[in-house]
Structure 1
Amino acid sequence: MKSLFLFLSTLIMTAPIMIYDFNNENGLGNWRIEDDRVMGGISQGKVELTEDGHARFYGNVTVESNGGFSSVQNNSLDIKVNPDQIAKIKVKGDGNTYQFRIQHSNNARESYIKEFETNGEWQTIEIKLNEMKPTYRGRNLNMPNFNHDQIKHARFLIATKKVDQKFELLIDCIELIDA
């Protein structure tokens, strides 16, 4: 009986926590686009749900008019976390580099980020929350890495490296797993 209890306890503790699953039932929910247009740029991103139940984040980023980024974000999360957990993200990208960003509070100015490379195939990206670095408007901050107990906002962002580019990122789901 004690062995069964230990097994079930371990199973419960290691079960993934779904942050968001972009299936046809959930749809896009509160995921919205934010581009450099908020700062006078002219990049344009779009998000839609594919027939297969994936979020398709796509568009064009340009440095024209001092621009250079596009993002898709959800500002209505309320996920309890442990900084030692891992964000497990299933994506299919176009070879571009993207950022996964989180914020712990509705009042936080800083975002915690981690870049990841895509390769044109479905990938499972694992990001340790406590390795996510604090930034504000693209600048690294002299603060500790993510060490909070909740996630209120999540975002995928692409930033141009001074070259106009088209982009497309399919997002299947975001989960939390124990390290």
Structure 2
Amino acid sequence: MQHELWPAGQRHWRVITDTVMGGVSQGTLQLVEIEGRMAARMRGAVSTENNGGFIQIAMDLSADGGAFDAGDFRGIAAELLGNGESYSLHLRTTDLTRPQQSYRHPFRAPTRWQVVQFPFADFTPHRTEVPFDPRRLRRVGLVAIGREFDADLSVARLWLY
């Protein structure tokens, strides 16, 4: 069983950088065709100056920002293409109240289009003691974080499996 999250429906990616907290990282989001696939492409320079260090593209799963019930699924899969650098998939639930809280799964971006699976059981809580509950899923983010580097990551599809 699968449930398409993107590009289906009215869900949209948006770019968020550490400038929201005083950092200086720069990032862009473009919808582009890459090797015959339409994709959301995140590019930019991650900087750790001014206590910064991230750029991300994020997508709310419900139009009202509320919970999306993913309890019948084992994880999230994505068709990705990137520059071989390390990134992280972040999940947020309606249980999290602070912006720095998330559930994280690191990965290396494939340099050719490839499907990457992210089992819910493999996510690590970050700055929270609240256990991950897929029935309360709110947001998905693809994040370049934690060190200075040039980010280039594209996603053509995202779905629950």
Please indicate, yes or no, whether the TM-score normalized by the shorter chain is above 0.5. Answer: yes
- Alignment length (residue pairs): 152
The gaps in structure 1 that reach 5 residues or longer are 1-13
TM-score (norm 1): 0.75
Give, in whole Å, the separation in 1 of the partners of 2:72 and 2:3: 14
Greater strand proportion: 2
Q: In structure 2, the residue corresponding to 1:79 is in which secondary structure?
A: coil
Q: In structure 2, the residue corresponding to 1:50 is in which secondary structure?
A: strand
Partner residue in 1 for 2:80:
91
The gaps in structure 2 that reach 5 residues or longer are none
Letter of the aligned partner of 1:120 in structure 2?
T
Partner residue in 1 for 2:70:
81
1:135 pairs with 2:126? yes
Give, in whole Å, the separation in 1 of the partners of 2:61 and 2:71: 19
Partner residue in 1 for 2:151:
167
TM-superposition CA deviations, 1:42-93 (whole Å, max 9, x none): 0011101003410011011112222211111123535321275121111001
Give, in whole Å, the separation in 1 of the partners of 2:22 and 2:72: 35
Q: In structure 1, the residue corresponding to 2:23 is in which secondary structure?
A: coil
Which residue of the other structure, out of 18, 39, 48, is the alignment partner of 1:63?
Answer: 48
Following TM superposition, by how much is the alpha carbon of 1:113 offset from its aligned partner in structure 2, in angstroms?
1.0
**8 Å CA contact retained: 2:61, 2:68:** no
Task: Please report the RMSD computed on the Cα atoms of aligned residues, expressed in angstroms.
Answer: 2.2
Following TM superposition, by how much is the alpha carbon of 1:147 offset from its aligned partner in structure 2, in angstroms?
2.7
Structure 1 residues 102-113: aligned runs within 5 Å: 102-105=91-94, 108-109=97-98, 110-113=101-104
Structure 1 residues 120-131: aligned runs within 5 Å: 120-131=111-122
Which residue of the other structure, out of 105, 109, 132, is the alignment partner of 1:114?
Answer: 105
TM-score (norm 2): 0.83
TM-superposition CA deviations, 1:83-116 (whole Å, max 9, x none): 7512111100101111111112175333111011
